Amino acid sequence: MNSIRRNIAKKYWKELLVDKKMPYNDNCSYHFYWIRVKNRDSFMKKMTKHKIETGIHYFPIHKMKFYNDKKYLAITEKVGAEIVSLPIHPNLKESDVNKVIETVNHLV
């Protein structure tokens, strides 16, 4: 299963025309694959219209209720507002992966 995810991640790394994306590493399991986009909400809505599910799996810890201490961490909050996860599960067909790549490249 991990080798399938790694192959998808390698293809994303090579073919996605996004400046800020998860780097490829042979030792990673790629449970998630993230990219950063300027207007995440708009991007995610457009991906949904193309029938591609995206997610938000990383959230600044200092903004979580348990840790909330009213600190402002500008870089953390900027990245937290831009990061979005792409599909990378082992059941994706090659045509699905190609559709994700083509759609992302068209939208960014």
- Would you say residue 24 has pLDDT above 80? yes
Instruction: Report pTM.
Output: 0.89
Structural tokens at position 39: 């207007």
pLDDT digits (tens, 9 = 90+) for 70-85: 778 889 889 999 999 9
Domain 2-107 matching CATH 3.30.420.40: the answer reads: no
What is the rounded radius of gyration, in angstroms, for the C-alpha atoms of the chain?
15
Closest CA to 7 of 26, 35, 32: 26
pLDDT digits (tens, 9 = 90+) for 42-69: 999 999 999 999 999 888 888 877 877 7
Percent pLDDT > 70 in the chain is 98
pLDDT digits (tens, 9 = 90+) for 83-100: 999 999 999 999 999 999
Domains of the chain, residue spans: 2-107
Q: Please return the burial class of 100, using the count of CB atoms within 10 Å of its CB with bins 0-12, 13-18 and 19+.
A: buried
Structural tokens at position 12: 């994303």
